[in-house]
């Protein structure tokens, strides 16, 4: 089944403890991206990647890192999480970065930083 898989679905951690949220897609998509969703703020893009080894900042990149060493995986790294990074995170992919490509989203990761 074609899908975007995020892990874990739920994560509770403490301030400053490095964590990684994984994202994997099995559709051979070139484009991948990360979003956070907060009440009243909609979905905001954190980082995106047009292809392997190519990443760019979105609207809210501060406090996050990403890497794209292989096509299928696009992990989101929080080197030193803080409470203001408590949020619902979504990974998405599309065949290309071009406008006609629909995005496919994962089911989300709910992160709580205490």
Partner 1 sequence: DAKTTQPNSMESNEEEPVHLPCNHSTISGTDYIHWYRQLPSQGPEYVIHGLTSNVNNRMASLAIAEDRKSSTLILHRATLRDAAVYYCILRDWGNNAGNMLTFGGGTRLMVKP
27 binds partner 1 (CB under 8 A): no
34 binds partner 1 (CB under 8 A): no
Of 82 and 107, the one with the shorter C-beta distance to partner 1 is: 107
Is there a contact between 36 and 49 (Cβ–Cβ < 8 Å)? no
Please, what is the minimum distance in Å from the beta carbon of residue 38 to partner 1? 11
Q: Where are the alpha helices (DSSP H) in the chain?
A: none
* Closest listed residue to residue 32, CA positions, set 101, 97, 98, 107: 97
103 binds partner 1 (CB under 8 A): yes
2 binds partner 1 (CB under 8 A): no
Of the listed pieces 20-28, 35-43, 62-70, 76-84, which binds partner 1 according to CB under 8 A?
A: 35-43
50 binds partner 1 (CB under 8 A): yes
State the residue for tokens 């956070």.
36
Please, what is the minimum distance in Å from the beta carbon of residue 14 to partner 1? 25
């Amino acid at each position: 089944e074609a899908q975007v898989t995020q892990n874990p679905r739920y994560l509770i951690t403490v301030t400053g403890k490095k964590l990684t949220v994984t994202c994997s897609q099995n559709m051979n998509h070139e484009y991948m991206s990360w979003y956070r969703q907060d009440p009243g703020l909609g979905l905001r893009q954190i980082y995106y990647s047009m292809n392997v080894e190519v990443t760019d900042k979105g609207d809210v990149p501060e406090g996050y890192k990403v890497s794209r060493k292989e096509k299928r995986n696009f992990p989101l790294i929080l080197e030193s999480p803080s409470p203001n990074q408590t949020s619902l995170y979504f990974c998405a992919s599309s065949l290309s970065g071009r406008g006609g490509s629909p995005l496919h989203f994962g089911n989300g990761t709910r992160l709580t930083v205490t």
